[in-house]
Chains A and B, each alone.
Chain A
Amino acid sequence: MTRKLGYVQAFNEAVRQEMAANPDVFCAGEDIGAFGGVFQSYAGLQAEFGEDRVVDTPISEQAIIGLGVGAAVTGLRPIVDIMFMDFICVAFDQIVNQAAKLKYMFGGSATIPLTITTGGGGGLSAAAQHSQSLEALLCHIPGLIVVHPSNPYDMKGLMTSCIRENNPTIMIKHKRLLGMQGEVPEEPYAIPLGKANVLREGTDVTVVSWGKMVNDALDVANSLESEGISVEVIDPRTLQPLDTATIVESVRKTNRVVVVHEAVKFGGLGAEVAAQIQEKAFDYLDAPVARVGAPFSPVPFSPVLEQHYLPSPDDITAAIRGVVARPGV
């Protein structure tokens, strides 16, 4: 049975259902207990499952991830929360050098079924240390899985998969999607990790985007339809491993592509998408791969600055028009 549910409630429901199904699942993080987490992602879970399974931790990001790594390698299935994505930097050793590498360094003997959850993205005037989109840093690390849902349905299904996954996963919630409503089945379901979703079919240009931005890209695609520009929109949903096959297949059809993300453009994941496309579909391209991303600055505070900083629907529209305007080969 399906009903409307918010993005953050979909997250919460996935955690609740997996905790009910598997006693090895527990949650730990800052303020997630009685308070339910700063985004209310964990609301009600401590009341339902008790303090042993929903654990308030000290403000100690390294130890929070370490707690998860140690508990995962000894047989539990931890969900550990890093309040804001910016704070992963505080815990980067435990994420990059420990969680991601233990299995490999130990010759395969370790299994790390760890889920790290965090809130990313800007738009709330939270400024430079509470607004970043750092997915490219994480996607660069072999051993990690990086997931970034763009809607409530995907959130529940992807979070369920993350919890069931036997590798370290990082679930990025976008802060400006927390209240987004959508159809979500009541029963548990899993969306395979590493599978892109073609959100909208089109024939003239492919837009690859994720998180909050893919919603903006969809709006742009719908408005350009009336101008006779047919836009295909692909949401990879999982950023590592990236479903390049679906992207390349689309580009071979449309011959034009725009990659849109909220992170800074330089060294962003869009650069990898563009490189994959030129390696696998160069002969199909009628225009250079276009990228839309943030300028190379920290996220500014003042609303007027931040609004200018974040990629806008107008930026996406301009990029699409740019690649479509190029004469075909």
Chain B
Amino acid sequence: MELSKDALMDMHRRMVRIRLFEEAAGKLAESARLPGFLHLYVGQEAVAAGVCATLSDDDQITSTHRGHGHLVAKGGQFNQMMAELMGKATGYCKGKGGSMHISNLDVGMLGANGIVGAGTPIAVGAGFANKYKKNGNISAAFFGDGSTNIGAFHEAANMACALRLPVLFICENNEYGEFTPRDKTMAITDIVDRAAGYGMPGVIVDGMDVVAVHEAAVEAAARARRGDGPSMIEAKTYRFYNHHGVQNLGLKYRTDTEVEQWKERDPIFTFEDRLIEAGTATRSDFDDIWAELRADIDTAIQFAEDSPLPDPDQILVDVYSATPSPDLTGAAS
């Protein structure tokens, strides 16, 4: 597949946006300026960027507890995202969702999810709606290796295949389910082995190589849009930080050597080297991009810090939708 310079630079930009957002969120968390849990996506950027580059705003994705990267890649804006992480009224979820539930339906991002595996059946529902409406759109479920051990994954994969729905199953195999290595929790090495059991094709790609991810996603998306049903892509990847928080080295469940080895394969820096070598861009081009996006992050942090906190009277708002029926909020009083 020959990708244009624009396409390559677009994927690069998506990855840098994720990296900068996550690094900034990590710093804010370290200085206790973010409430709650923080699951950083750093290291896995190529997966979200490579897949989302083949999706439009009308295609939907579901995400995981490690969801900021998916929203950034899908077109989420820094300001509303940073405000949400700070629990501000101007956040995408008005401060009611936070990191683990961040979403923006306008760009087809159906939510990060605090329940492991729970997003995947919802992506299947979105895929059903797309097929039902014959709108040519598709959905993609991002999920981790650990979530393929939960029942919801199996039900969703089987149902999507049985109903031949336009859904991409994107497994981000980062080798650890929270703090436990994959080989302690399953007897297979490759998650994609599971795809055949449902009757869908599956491929393994280097999850540190955005082009490899993208090429597989393009093929799977074309198949889904043709009406040929779901596909699974297993991206072998790694999270540079701990399951949550900003610690990366000195962890009890993985070695520093392993972390350093994966960091040598950094999806952004290796991609930049390749693009420079191919003459697609120069170091100075990249420096400009990083500087431009860093400025956007600084703006977003300022926007979030300047934003108002939610008013306490908002607690009961949006528990229910306004509805044709009367008195539906009566019980909340």
A143 sits at the interface (CB 8 A): yes
Contact B118 A107 (CB under 8 A): no
Chain B residue at minimal CB-CB distance from A101: B101
Known: A55-B163, A60-B155, A66-B156. A194 touches B122 (CB 8 A): no
Known: A52-B132, A166-B323, A192-B325. A106 touches B152 (CB 8 A): no
Of the residues A93, A113, A145, contact of B115 by C-beta under 8 Å = A93
Contact B128 A71 (CB under 8 A): yes
Contact A93 B318 (CB under 8 A): no
Of the residues B97, B156, B331, contact of A240 by C-beta under 8 Å = B331
Contact B328 A242 (CB under 8 A): no
Q: How far is the CB of A216 from chain B (nearest CB, A)?
A: 26
Point out the residues of chain B lying under 8 angstroms from A62, CB to CB: 121, 151-152, 155-156
A75 sits at the interface (CB 8 A): yes
B329 sits at the interface (CB 8 A): yes
B93 sits at the interface (CB 8 A): yes
Chain B residue at minimal CB-CB distance from A60: B155
Point out the residues of chain A lying under 8 angstroms from B60, CB to CB: 70, 74
How many angstroms from the CA of A1 to the CA of B99 in the assembled complex? 54
Contact A192 B121 (CB under 8 A): no
How many angstroms from the CA of A199 to the CA of B91 in the assembled complex? 48
Known: A70-B125, A70-B127, A76-B132. A194 touches B328 (CB 8 A): yes
Point out the residues of chain B lying under 8 angstroms from A240, CB to CB: 331
Of the residues B106, B124, B325, contact of A194 by C-beta under 8 Å = B325
Q: How far is the CB of A79 from chain B (nearest CB, A)?
A: 13
Contact A66 B122 (CB under 8 A): yes
A102 sits at the interface (CB 8 A): yes
Of the residues A73, A142, A161, A164, contact of B126 by C-beta under 8 Å = A73
Known: A94-B121, A97-B115, A194-B331. A106 touches B129 (CB 8 A): no
Point out the residues of chain B lying under 8 angstroms from A241, CB to CB: 327-332
Contact B96 A105 (CB under 8 A): yes
Contact B327 A194 (CB under 8 A): yes
How many angstroms from the CA of A98 to the CA of B132 in the assembled complex? 22
How many angstroms from the CA of A117 to the CA of B320 in the assembled complex? 19
**A residues 165-214 touching B (CB-CB < 8 Å):** 165-167, 190, 192-195
Q: How far is the CB of A96 from chain B (nearest CB, A)?
A: 10
Q: How far is the CB of A201 from chain B (nearest CB, A)?
A: 22
Contact A70 B318 (CB under 8 A): no
B120 sits at the interface (CB 8 A): yes
Contact B105 A73 (CB under 8 A): yes
B123 sits at the interface (CB 8 A): yes
Contact B159 A68 (CB under 8 A): no
A26 sits at the interface (CB 8 A): yes
Point out the residues of chain B lying under 8 angstroms from A104, CB to CB: 96, 318-319
Contact A194 B151 (CB under 8 A): no
Point out the residues of chain B lying under 8 angstroms from A125, CB to CB: none
How many angstroms from the CA of A299 to the CA of B95 in the assembled complex? 43
Point out the residues of chain A lying under 8 angstroms from B163, CB to CB: 55, 57
Contact A73 B110 (CB under 8 A): yes
B64 sits at the interface (CB 8 A): no
How many angstroms from the CA of A94 to the CA of B113 in the assembled complex? 11
Known: A66-B124, A68-B125, A98-B118. A245 touches B330 (CB 8 A): yes
Q: How far is the CB of B296 from chain A (nearest CB, A)?
A: 22
**B residues 76-96 touching A (CB-CB < 8 Å):** 91-96
How many angstroms from the CA of A114 to the CA of B122 in the assembled complex? 13
Q: How far is the CB of A308 from chain B (nearest CB, A)?
A: 34
Point out the residues of chain B lying under 8 angstroms from A194, CB to CB: 325-328, 330-331
Known: A93-B118, A97-B118, A105-B97. A58 touches B326 (CB 8 A): no
Point out the residues of chain A lying under 8 angstroms from B104, CB to CB: 109
Known: A70-B129, A76-B129, A241-B329. A105 touches B321 (CB 8 A): no
Point out the residues of chain A lying under 8 angstroms from B93, CB to CB: 105-107, 109
Contact A107 B319 (CB under 8 A): no
**A residues 59-113 touching B (CB-CB < 8 Å):** 60-76, 78, 93-94, 97-98, 102-113
How many angstroms from the CA of A76 to the CA of B126 in the assembled complex? 9
Chain A residue at minimal CB-CB distance from B103: A106
B75 sits at the interface (CB 8 A): no
Q: How far is the CB of B261 from chain A (nearest CB, A)?
A: 36
B187 sits at the interface (CB 8 A): no
Contact B121 A66 (CB under 8 A): yes
How many angstroms from the CA of A247 to the CA of B169 in the assembled complex? 50
With A74-B126, A103-B319 already in contact, 7 other A-B pairs whose C-beta atoms are closer than 8 Å: A58-B162, A66-B118, A73-B105, A94-B121, A98-B118, A103-B321, A109-B104
A residues neighboring B (CB under 8 Å) = 26, 28, 52, 55, 57-58, 60-76, 78, 93-94, 97-98, 102-113, 142-143, 145, 161, 164-167, 190, 192-195, 240-245
B residues neighboring A (CB under 8 Å) = 60, 62, 91-97, 101, 103-106, 110-111, 113-115, 118, 120-130, 132-133, 139, 151-152, 155-156, 158-159, 162-163, 317-332
A-B contact pairs, 25 of them (CB 8 A): A28-B128, A55-B163, A57-B163, A60-B159, A62-B151, A64-B159, A67-B128, A68-B125, A69-B121, A69-B122, A70-B128, A74-B125, A74-B126, A94-B152, A103-B320, A105-B93, A105-B103, A106-B96, A107-B92, A108-B317, A109-B92, A166-B322, A192-B327, A193-B328, A240-B331
